[in-house]
Amino acid sequence: MKFTKWQGCGNDFVLIDCRESEPADYAKLAIKVCDRHYGVGADGILVVLPSALPDADFRMRIFNTDGSEAEMCGNGIRCFARYLYDEGITKKTEFGVETGAGVLVPRIILEDGKVTGVRVDMGEPILEGDKIPVTGYGMNRVINEPITVQGKEYHMTCVSMGNPHCVVFVEDAENFPIYEVGTHFEHHEAFPRKTNTEFVEVKDRSHVRMRVWERGAAVTLACGTGSCATAVAGVLNDKTDRKVEVELDGGKLLVEWTPNNHVFMTGPAELVFTGELAD
């Protein structure tokens, strides 16, 4: 089985084209392939599939290092889109991709005929508690609400970008004990489907520093949907403008929450290497 390895701001993926044949067990494959000692090593696998939807050209599935399936991945969809374009599978620079979060539309950014990045319409943020989901809030928004984790009170703003996010603003993102508390946020009883958690330091109204604990993958160098959730949370808490640069462990993303309520994310997608998986 041939594969390509991609990264977007250090968030890395093994991409497998399964349009003609699929493995028997995606979860088992993801656990094996993502292992950084005995496998290829990645934060997850991206699967290329055909889509039967009229407004989608392709379907993307994402599996985490623990074998669980994610609804969406912002860095992943940029890598997915560039793979399709670079390999000549599509000649379109803008196309629909079916995901677990609905049909999203990436656009290949070209300068002098060369790909310099990918901009994705990530759709509209979901802000109602029951829809994210977060227990105890019904259809109300969850903005700057208290949550107790390991005996300490934090304040969370919750957003779904097709997958659940808990954004916590902190004074010092670099030195925040993310490895110690991240898993306790992910598995907190407030989140029936678990959650991704972003720990965010506001530098100024157009620049934030974000670190992330991803559901099913632990600490990663970047999270695209998390960056989008962070931008939305910044606006909801009047901490940032609607267009913000998100500085991650692995690079930077530009996120804009536009007046039509759609969130747009722009960033890199780079091929690392190609290979073939042994049986």
Is 223 among the catalytic positions? Answer: yes
Q: What is the DSSP string of 102-141?
A: EEEEEEEEEETTEEEEEEEE--PPB-BGGGTT-TT-TTSB
Contact status, residue 30 vs residue 45, Cβ threshold 8 Å:
yes
Of residues 126, 130, 195, 98, the one with CA closest to residue 156: 195
Q: E-assigned strands of 122-205?
A: 145-149, 152-160, 164-169, 196-204
Question: Around 262, how many Cα atoms within 13 Å sit in the side-chain half-sphere?
Answer: 10
From the candidates 34, 158, 223, 228, which is the catalytic residue? 223
Rounded to 5°, the CA angle 228-160-248 comes to 30
- Which residue out of 73, 158, 166, 228 is catalytically annotated? 73
Residues 6+ apart with CB under 8 A from 115: 82, 85, 86, 108, 109, 269
DSSP 8-state symbol, 142: -
CA R_g for the chain: 18
Distance CA 267, CA 196 (A): 20
SS3 of the chain: helix, strand, coil, percent, to 5: 15, 45, 40
Tell the residue number behind the tokens 């603003």, with chain if given: 169
Catalytic residues: 73, 223
